[in-house]
Amino acid sequence: MQNDRVAEKLVQAVPEDVGMSSQRIDLVKKRAQDWVNDGTTPALVLLAARRGKVVLHEAFGKTGPGSDAAKLDVSAIFPLASISKVIAATAIMMLVDDGLLGLNRPVQDYLPEFIGERKQEVMVHHLLTHTSGLVDKDIVAHQEQNRGKVSIPPAESNEHPQLHEWLWLRFDAPLSSAPGERMSYSGAGGYTLLT
């Protein structure tokens, strides 16, 4: 099924143009600056949009802990780590909804490099529910054993080079338990989903 959704380009606007309050947006900016000032967070970037119009896009804090660190810019990239799993899961469910991905299909149908004993039994839903049998500490240890031994193809232009390397060093990592046997939080399973 073809996806008919089209991304719109967001444009700048004043809050009142989209039924929002400039006073409340100013309060949000003040709170963000207060959080940086009191050490609640070292830095953050805020973006608020409504009806396709951006009413706030500002950075607060610095790029690092040193006193000489540069002021943070709105284009800063933050490592989102586990919070990205919610976004990945939502995107995956959109693909399921569009008929492009099956939750009960083997991961190998979509990622043939995902190999090893019983890996053909790992379904997409196992990665989403942390029941794949992948355990992070075991996968990281396997990754380090593979370093320098695995031939890694060049990353595509749309792939993050470090993530690309990690995946190739981890694709053949052994399972610690049979798929579906137990739940064990796995960041590595999330990386696999993002591939």
DSSP state of 155: P
| Sequence-separated contacts (24+) of 23-27 with Cβ below 8 Å | 25/55, 25/56
**Same structural domain for residues 177 and 137?**
yes
Domain's final residue, options 58, 78, 98: 78
**Same structural domain for residues 96 and 70?**
no
**Same structural domain for residues 172 and 100?**
yes
**Same structural domain for residues 100 and 183?**
yes
| Secondary-structure breakdown of the chain: helix, strand, coil percentages, each rounded to the nearest 5 | 40, 10, 50
H or E segment at 56?
A: strand 53-61
Mention every residue, 6+ apart, whose C-beta is less than 8 A from residue 75: none
3-state secondary structure of 47: strand
**Same structural domain for residues 74 and 16?**
yes
**Same structural domain for residues 59 and 143?**
no
Domain of residue 70, residue span: 11-78
Residue 2 lies in a domain: no
- The CATH number for 180's domain is 3.40.710.10
Query: What whole-number distance in Å separates Cα of residue 42 and Cα of residue 60?
Result: 8
Whole-number pLDDT of residue 6: 43
Count CA within 13 A, CB hemisphere, residue 151.
0
Domain's final residue, options 27, 61, 78: 78
Residue 102 lies in a domain: yes
Residue 182 lies in a domain: yes
Q: Are 23 and 30 in contact (CB under 8 A)?
A: no
Residue with tokens 């143009």: 17
Whole-number pLDDT of residue 112: 93
Query: What whole-number distance in Å separates Cα of residue 166 and Cα of residue 16?
Result: 46
**Same structural domain for residues 121 and 185?**
yes
Residue 1 lies in a domain: no
Report the number of distinct structural domains present in the chain.
Answer: 2
**Same structural domain for residues 41 and 86?**
no
**Same structural domain for residues 148 and 170?**
yes
Q: What is the pLDDT along the chain (195 residues), one digit of tens a residue?
A: 343 444 457 789 999 999 999 999 999 999 999 999 999 999 999 999 999 899 999 999 998 888 898 999 998 887 777 777 888 889 999 999 999 999 999 999 999 999 999 999 999 999 999 999 999 899 989 999 999 999 999 988 888 888 889 889 999 999 999 999 999 888 776 666 555
